Amino acid sequence: MILPKARRERRERIASYCKRLAWSQTAVTLCEQAAPLQEAFLEEVMAAELANREVGRRARLLSRAGFPAHKTLTDFDRRVVRLPSTITWDDLDQGTFISAHRNLVFFGGVGLGKTHLAIALGMAACERGQTVRFATVTGLVVRLTEALKAGTLERAFMDLQRTDLLILDEWGYLPIDRAGAQLLFRVVADSYETRSLILTTNLEFSKWGTVFTDDQMTAAMIDRLAHHGHLLLFEGESYRMQHALMKER
């Protein structure tokens, strides 16, 4: 039997939905005994189930990312950022830097929105279905150190390795001992050419050695970050200082 074009296309969509839902193709076979309205209802049910699963998946991705606050790109003042010629706002908005496994280093003073932009880019990635983890550098080192003591370090690294984007906030804000620096170096080394990193820092590259205690290890980290990386400069007056209640008279 030759099916009308519209019905044939509907069955093709139902077959595609079966694959995406991890169902067998039985539903397509049953369509041979179904009336057109029954086929249309089946397609509607399957589309609704896929949409519901996608909403749940995105909610889980956002929850597991560990963002400390909800931030969006529309709320961010882009005028404080100076982009290098190697990247555009479209690259950031669309997340192409993530699929290309490129790194972003946000450098600038406090209160300029580095963390805001990092979170906003991470949340946008989750909305696209990508896996993201957010952590302060100190918090991550503490977590990995505890995992080392508990004998679960490899499991902790496997969790990080499953991410598309890892955001490390407050890079270089506090000194890290040699053991912590070695753990952090492994995070950077494992991420090289396999996932994207976003680092926020107010410390210039030349001073990183004072924080990570080992100049050679620090140089190796910078080399890996810079090879496929972009440096974004944040300039201007602190947003928090501009809007501080203590300045009101």
Q: Are 226 and 106 in a shared domain? A: yes
Instruction: Residue 153: count other Cβ atoms within 10 Å of its Cβ.
Output: 16
Query: With a threshold of 0.75, does the pTM exceed it?
Result: yes
Q: What would the mean pLDDT of 94-107 be, rounded to a whole number?
A: 96
Whether residue 94 is contained in a domain is answered as yes
Q: Looking at the structure, tell me whether residues 174 and 93 fall in a common domain.
A: yes
**Does any domain span residue 175?**
yes
Q: What percent of the chain shows pLDDT beyond 70?
A: 94
Is residue 36 predicted with pLDDT exceeding 90? Answer: no
Whether residue 73 lies inside any domain: the answer is: no
Is 232 found in the same domain as 192? Answer: yes
**Is 90 exceeded by the pLDDT of residue 61?**
yes
pLDDT tens by residue, 74-99: 999 999 999 999 999 999 999 999 99
Residue 218, pLDDT above cutoff 50: yes
Predicted local distance difference test score (pLDDT) of residue 149: 95
Checking if the pLDDT of 50 tops 60, the result is yes
Tens of pLDDT, residues 163-193: 999 999 999 888 888 899 999 999 999 999 9
Note whether residue 229 is domain-resident.
yes
Q: Residue 7 pLDDT > 90, yes or no?
A: no
Closest CA to 161 of 126, 195, 124: 195
The range of the structural domain enclosing residue 196 comes to: 78-247
Predicted local confidence at residue 249, as pLDDT: 46
157 in any annotated domain: yes
User: At 214, is the pLDDT very low, low, confident or very high (cuts 50, 70, 90)?
Assistant: confident
CA distance 235 to 109: 7
pLDDT band at 240 (very low <50, low <70, confident <90, very high): low
- CA-CA distance, 232 to 145, in Å (whole number)? 30
Q: Are residues 189 and 155 in the same domain?
A: yes
Do 33 and 131 fall within a single domain? no
Residue 239 maps to which CATH number? Answer: 3.40.50.300
238 pLDDT band (50/70/90 cuts)?
A: low
Residue 248 has pLDDT above 70, yes or no: no
Regarding whether 172 and 103 lie in a shared domain, the answer is yes
Average pLDDT over residues 225-236: 92
Q: What CA–CA distances, in Å, run from 145 to 142, 209, 221?
A: 5, 20, 19
Checking DSSP bridges between strand 81-82 and strand 229-234, what pairing results, if any? antiparallel
pLDDT in tens, 130-139: 999 999 999 9
**What's the pLDDT score for residue 155?**
95
Closest-CA residue to 21 (of 56, 61, 53, 43) = 53
Q: Domain for residue 99, yes or no?
A: yes
152 and 215 both lie in a single domain = yes
Total structural domains within the chain: 2
